Structure 1
């Protein structure tokens, strides 16, 4: 296990009707003028927005609104939010929704006190050194942004989807009411599940030795998803299954399962080009890319893939041919994703073979390589896209 520092300051308020405490919590963390960041009309139609406004008003907290955040959130709303915060004297960001709303709120929070273009943080030109506090009311278990310091934004000029991160962007509090996820379409629930599992696998496939504790934590989250997701696909109102999935999503990405070990993140980077080009759901893109990436890099550490096959997917270990066991595990993962209604190929996603060169070029590594498990160059990325055809 490697040396590490782990800082996770978020206060989680979990359970039914927990959103009614929002105003009190904002006040507890020093907010006086809030910008509510949200997506489409679902938080309005469900009554959640009215409930949050009443809670803020009861606590004497003033608020403004920024709606219209789309999946694969764009930079235009970030610029709009930064301008609005400065104009209104906002000192606190409150995101209602899923990863898109939360990531946008984080980008705004970092951009308001920054004297130049917030995109500097996403292009690697600057490091976040100051940010307004962010809080969340989660409505979809997926991105894990409610517990992490990470954020991903797409720049419309050039269609570049890039990430940034800082502990300063970890939410000060996150409200998690599993009931708020019950009205999600089955496809969105499935996409969220793929994202959660991908967050774990990006950490699980590591070159760091002797990480049994975090191996077992990763496996526990994955087994929870395998067990609970089919339940909510059959019965969307299964509160206990929703609760387990919601907490799994947070644990998967606040890095408690990833401390002391190297990570990879190539699958996410490769997928970002898919969702930037086709505006597909991130989880759907990951369902296509992750099994292809696994098959491509498996021989780098066959025994780690075989371990996952045995411990997570219930395969029988073939000590004479561990590669067979490893491939069986990858196949079972792919079949699981398909069984919950996700695409597992370019054709099912609607992606096109002729766009592969453009996505490879847009990946932005030049002639270099990237990745923490297996370093990949452009030819490797091209090959993984073609495996996913």
Structure 2
């Protein structure tokens, strides 16, 4: 096993209705009367009333919500750049992501782009590390990417899909309410389950020796995901199954399952090329094609 350091400062708030507390949770880090950029995806956040509840919670905590919607799967650099300009215009002090991995990744990219004098794409192409970032919080609506606890960001620009990362963008608080997952389409459930499995396997399939403790934890998590994923196939409103899937998916990508070992990430690298080439390819579905082929090869 290799030497390692591990720190995860994300405050994870889990359970029914906890998103209604997001205002008070953010006030632990963000001063009163601060503008907060609320980033979200399509119309479901508004149609479900979630965005309104979150806005009310922020206002009740003396924060000023600035809504910015339209994140797409495989989030685009152009959206991030618009968000940076909007955040600067309103002198935003924090970013709140309301959505899944794409929304959270876009929020993280905006967070590092606002204080940076150059092009935010530099962090992805030149692999320079950010030295400043706005604080990021998240309300998860789709368990899959684990971005709500991770230091990673993935952004697309044309036919390029690249990653960056920094401890500065690990959300300081993330809310997981499994009831928010009840209306997800089966396609997104399937893709999400594969994505979180892949995050564990990219670490589990290592050539580093003597990693028994982490291996055992990873095996338990993968079994839990497979068991409860099948339950959701039968009943997508199974609260207890969503609790297990939501929790496992969040921990799958926060670095825990890679402690002390060399990680792989070949499958993710290949899939990123696919979904950059064709943005209609859902990341989890792409992984479902790539991973078995990778396993067979190695």
> Above 0.5 in TM-score?
yes
Q: Distance in 1 between matches of 2:138 and 2:180?
A: 13
Q: How far apart are 1:59 and its partner, in Å? A: 0.8
Residue-by-residue CA offset, 1:197-231 (whole Å, 9 max, x unaligned): 00000000111100000000110110001110010
Q: Report the aligned-residue RMSD.
A: 0.8
Q: Distance in 1 between matches of 2:130 and 2:265?
A: 21
Contact residue 7 and residue 167 of structure 1 kept, 8 A? no
Residues 179-198 of structure 1 aligned to structure 2 (within 5 Å): 179-198=179-198
Q: How far apart are 1:125 and its partner, in Å? A: 4.3
Partner of 2:273: helix, strand, or coil? helix
Residue-by-residue CA offset, 1:299-331 (whole Å, 9 max, x unaligned): xxxxxxxxxxxxxxxxxxxxxxxxxxxxxxxxx
Aligned match of 1:25: 25
What TM-score results when the alignment is normalised by the length of structure 2? Answer: 0.98
What TM-score results when the alignment is normalised by the length of structure 1? Answer: 0.75
Q: Distance in 2 between matches of 1:109 and 1:190?
A: 30
Residues 301-316 of structure 1 aligned to structure 2 (within 5 Å): none
Task: Identify which of 76, 80, 95 aligns with 2:78.
Answer: 76
Q: Could you list the runs of 4 or more consecutive aligned residues of structure 1 that deviate by over 4 angstroms after TM superposition?
A: none
Could you say which structure has the larger radius of gyration? 1
Task: Identify which of 128, 140, 143 aligns with 2:142.
Answer: 140
Residue-by-residue CA offset, 1:177-216 (whole Å, 9 max, x unaligned): 0000110001100000000000000000111100000000
Q: Distance in 2 between matches of 1:79 and 1:138?
A: 23
1:293 paired with 2:294, answer: yes
Q: Distance in 2 between matches of 1:296 and 1:283?
A: 20
Q: How far apart are 1:65 and its partner, in Å? A: 1.3
Residues 236-385 of structure 1 aligned to structure 2 (within 5 Å): 236-279=236-279, 280-297=281-298
Residue-by-residue CA offset, 1:269-322 (whole Å, 9 max, x unaligned): 10001111122110000000000001101xxxxxxxxxxxxxxxxxxxxxxxxx
Partner of 1:73: helix, strand, or coil? coil
Contact residue 154 and residue 163 of structure 2 kept, 8 A? yes
Residue-by-residue CA offset, 1:132-187 (whole Å, 9 max, x unaligned): 1000000011000000010100012xx10000001111000000000001100011
Aligned match of 1:312: none
Q: How far apart are 1:124 and its partner, in Å? A: 2.7
Aligned match of 1:47: 49
User: What residue ranges of structure 2 are gaps of 5+ in the alignment?
Assistant: none
Residue-by-residue CA offset, 1:1-37 (whole Å, 9 max, x unaligned): 1100111000000000000101101111125210000
Q: Distance in 1 between matches of 2:127 and 2:290?
A: 29
Contact residue 127 and residue 164 of structure 2 kept, 8 A? no
